[in-house]
Structure 1
Amino acid sequence: MCAASVLVIYESINTISNGAGYFTEVNTTKTLTEIDMSALPISAMAVTIVSKAILFFLCYRIKTPTMSALSSDHQNDVASNIVALICGLIGSFAYKKSINEKLIFIGPMGAILISLYIIFTWIRQANGQVKRLTGLTADPRFLSQITWITYHHSPLIEKIDTVRAFYFGTSYLVEVDIVLREDMMLKQAHDIGESLQKKIEELPEYAFARIDHEYSHSPGDEHKVV
């Protein structure tokens, strides 16, 4: 989308330059670019605006990173087609000299503005997705939610050693270290850890719960830290 928008900006600048020569040069051979706004392109843009608006509202209601990217794409399509329709109609009337002929510049100027908007929104969207794909630490509110679930899971949990969560694609990779009694039976400790893991996985995010009986050691003593 960004590459296409850059190309649109380039073509729009050429159109403006050509139009400026038409109005300023004496005995110029340059001509204005015709803008076809017949019933067919108008109908196509109107259908696109309505359909993309419906898709935007449907995707916006689903709060996932994938749906967020799709809703942003549909929003860009709605905005770009509305601007294209309005500017195209103004440019078409200007070309036919129904209004001031110099208003034909509205078309390429509108294309430049909407292209800059699309570039900005996609760079912002890409920045957020790159952070997720590179294992960004989860939001503090999500970490607090995991801590609350763990704290209220069982009265046999003596301490919460560590709560970590990282973006793992569009979901989270969660790691929880809980401290149990040193003399607790393995079966009981396993059942507490497994039930906690299943409870966290219902959020739904991928989770891994590790059991420990003391909290004074460093995580690097047991596992490779990456």
Structure 2
Amino acid sequence: MGSCQIGLKVVLYLYCVALKGRSDSMLALAEDHLNDIMSNVTAIVCGAIASNYRNIWWLDPAGAVLISLYIIRSWVIICWQQVDKIVGRGAPREFVDNLMSIANSHHEHLSVDCIRAYHFGSRFIVELEVLLPPKMTVEESHDIALFLQHKVEAFDEVERAFVHVDYINRPEPEHKVDYNLRHNRNLVLLPPERNKPRSRA
């Protein structure tokens, strides 16, 4: 009975490993099956040895302690990885550099001002701020940005991409920023004359 259970767990483990790239649920199930395999094998082996050699009776409980410590360690590591994703940890530098390369080569008139990529669950939210010529029509700039958005969202790791088009590099922040935890989040607004609606001809 024990060998059948272990064999079934091995099959389930291999199946989950094959699919673990699709979701974190499969990763957790694979780890759970692996822990079951190791605990069952350890219990059978250590129990058999301890029952046949009475002078090492302590092997059975020692094996239980060791496998318990291993399982605790593996779940703590997985838990820590998931916490990083829940709190929106930034994407790896290599991934951001790859996005930068793709965006910079997307169109001859486009240059990248800023890229942000951070976890949204198991995938990433990507924000790109790009520069296009000020004389370019809205139609042209929209289509260039939309195609870039689709190109970035084609990555399996990307949940959603947002492309913001500007015509100049702005040193001031365009979003609320925490300059100091003791102060409120402030947004640097454009001068009043820049916010006035333009009169129609």
Report TM bin, short chain: 0.7 to 0.9
1:181 is matched with 133
Say whether 1:83 aligns with 2:42.
Answer: yes
Comparing 164-173 with 68-77, greater Cα deviation is found at 68-77
Find the residue that maps to 2:47 and give its secondary structure: helix
Equivalent position of 2:162 in the other structure: 208
1:65-80 equivalent positions in 2, closer than 5 A: 66=24, 67-80=26-39
Question: How far off its partner does 1:103 sit?
Answer: 2.9
Considering only aligned residues, what root-mean-square deviation do their CA atoms show, in Å?
Answer: 1.6
Deviation at 1:195, TM superposition (A): 1.0
How many corresponding residue pairs?
Answer: 174
| Structure of higher RCO (CA pairs closer than 8 Å, 6+ residues apart) | 1
Aligned partner (choices 191, 195, 212) of residue 147 of structure 2: 195
> In the TM superposition, what is the alpha-carbon distance from 1:105 to its structure 2 partner?
2.1
Counterparts of 1:48 and 1:54 in 2: how far apart (Å)? 10
Q: Give the CA deviation at 1:64.
A: 4.4
| Aligned partners of 1:193 and 1:211 also within 8 Å | yes
Q: Does 1:124 align with 2:83?
A: no
Equivalent in 88, 97, 111 of residue 135 of structure 1: 88
Q: How many Å separate the matches in 1 of 2:105 and 2:126? A: 17
- Do residues 170 (structure 1) and 129 (structure 2) align? no
List per-residue Cα deviations over 1:53-110 (Å, max 9, x = no partner). 222222223324513222222221211111111112224xx2xxxx332333221111
Q: Identify the residue that residue 50 of structure 1 maps to in structure 2.
A: 7
Larger helix fraction of residues: 1
Secondary structure of the residue aligned to 2:130 is: strand
What amino acid is aligned across from residue 72 of structure 2 in structure 1?
Answer: I
> Which structure 1 segments of 5+ residues have no match?
1-42
> What residue in structure 2 maps to residue 217 of structure 1?
171
Q: Please give the TM-score of this superposition, normalised by the length of structure 1.
A: 0.72
Could you tell me how far 1:184 is from its partner in structure 2? 0.8
> Which has the greater radius of gyration?
1
What's the % identity of the aligned pairs?
33
Q: Which runs of 4+ in 1 moved over 4 A?
A: none
| Aligned-partner Cα distance in 2 for 1:125–1:183 | 51
1:145 to 75, 98, 101: 98
